[in-house]
Structure 1
């Protein structure tokens, strides 16, 4: 019962936390952290002498709630801070993505072709799913090329989305990007879960739903303790959006029922 209440509170009752997010940006700025998108940090790793002493890498996964994503962007814009925004196919907003890019931030793809394929074809076996990777690879290329062409700019980094199907099958979307030819074809420099990126991060923090909010620690505590921090956030954790949360919860229920049928 407590878990149900926590979920209901997070989705429908939680007050806006955008002021708290802005406080993170302010504290990082006051403590002389360079605040960078994933793309810029990864590229700087090739020239260590150019890396600032302290870095806070901002990554936003736009799983849902474009309204709050735009508010996060507005907060960052007020402070002259750049970040990375990864969009799913269901959250693509090319006008917003171009606005992000024009501000020096990064807008790219939050891909989920592996889990989508498993759900669409009701595949419940990991080995059977991996055997279909050649088909899934072509699907990824079509989606990626379509986004890149419509956006009118290259997509340097991408990030795997996590889905219940990935967890049930123990097959992550990132497995698809282990193919170097696929990366070369698409011009992908880095996947957000790549080891060469993450080994250069001292503290990886992700936001969480009420009542935890952060894992493994608060960014307020991490700032000053760690030199290189990656802060992963999702709009849904910072402000409630009744319409979007209801739609997302209903979609998840329908997908699970259909997959099990």
Structure 2
């Protein structure tokens, strides 16, 4: 019952936390942190980066309304960040605004999970055997987004889905393919060791009542030199319509998964 209440509170009752997000931006600024997008930090990693760095990554799983509010706060404070959009949250106009401000807009991909659900695949070996087809689909989607955006995409980030967890096949396995990366011009996947080994602490936001894991950014700022802060709009402000739509979609997809025949 407590778990259900916490989920309902997080999705429908939680007050806006945007003031808290702005407080993080201010504290980082006051402590001398350069606040960068993933792309900028990755490209500077082998040079002499600023003494203190806060790398901002936003995964736009849902809730474009709150994503725009986060962007407005960052613009007010001169902060650069990366916004990764799923196919279902693509907003090319907004993505162009992000790029024009010096931040990064790119792709939050999930072709592996999407393919598994579409074809009702129930075993990891069967899914991995279809990777050549899935890579082709990824390349088509990637190129389409870059063409519509009007600029190349340098970094991408894997999205996590219940299908990935059930099959124990993560989306970014798809990019364990040098040829695919070269074909698309991908410099970095957000979970690459080439990026993360330069990070002292990787903090992700979480739903109520946890909020942050493994530590609060307020505690890490001033203590850790290089911080990567992953956030999701849905964790910072409730959006009844979008949350209801996403919850309904998740229930329908899981029911279809459970009732499908094994492949």
Cα-to-partner distance string for 1:42-85 (whole Å, 9 max, x where unaligned) = 000132x2x00000000000000000000000000000110000
Cross-structure match for 2:30: 30
Q: What is the correspondence of 1:1-261 to structure 2 with a 5 Å cutoff? A: 1-47=1-47, 49=48, 51-261=49-259
Counterpart-to-counterpart distance in 1, 2:62 and 2:94: 14
3-state SS of the aligned residue for 1:245? Answer: helix
Pairs aligned (count): 259
Counterpart-to-counterpart distance in 1, 2:130 and 2:223: 45
Cα-to-partner distance string for 1:157-206 (whole Å, 9 max, x where unaligned) = 00000000000100000000010000000000000000110111000000
Work out whether residues 38 and 58 of structure 1, in 8 Å CA contact, stay in contact via their aligned partners in 2. Answer: yes
Counterpart-to-counterpart distance in 2, 1:204 and 1:142: 31
3-state SS of the aligned residue for 1:60? Answer: strand
Cα-to-partner distance string for 1:66-118 (whole Å, 9 max, x where unaligned) = 00000000000000110000000000000000000000000000000000000
3-state SS of the aligned residue for 1:229? Answer: strand
Work out whether residues 122 and 260 of structure 1, in 8 Å CA contact, stay in contact via their aligned partners in 2. Answer: no
Counterpart-to-counterpart distance in 2, 1:78 and 1:98: 18
Gapped runs of 5+ residues in structure 1?
none
3-state SS of the aligned residue for 2:15? Answer: coil
Counterpart-to-counterpart distance in 2, 1:187 and 1:93: 22
Alignment RMSD? 0.4
* TM-score for both structures, normalised by structure 1: 0.99
Gapped runs of 5+ residues in structure 2?
none
Counterpart-to-counterpart distance in 2, 1:124 and 1:159: 24
* TM-score for both structures, normalised by structure 2: 0.98
1:260 offset after TM fit, Å? 1.6
Counterpart-to-counterpart distance in 2, 1:260 and 1:118: 13
1:259 offset after TM fit, Å? 1.4
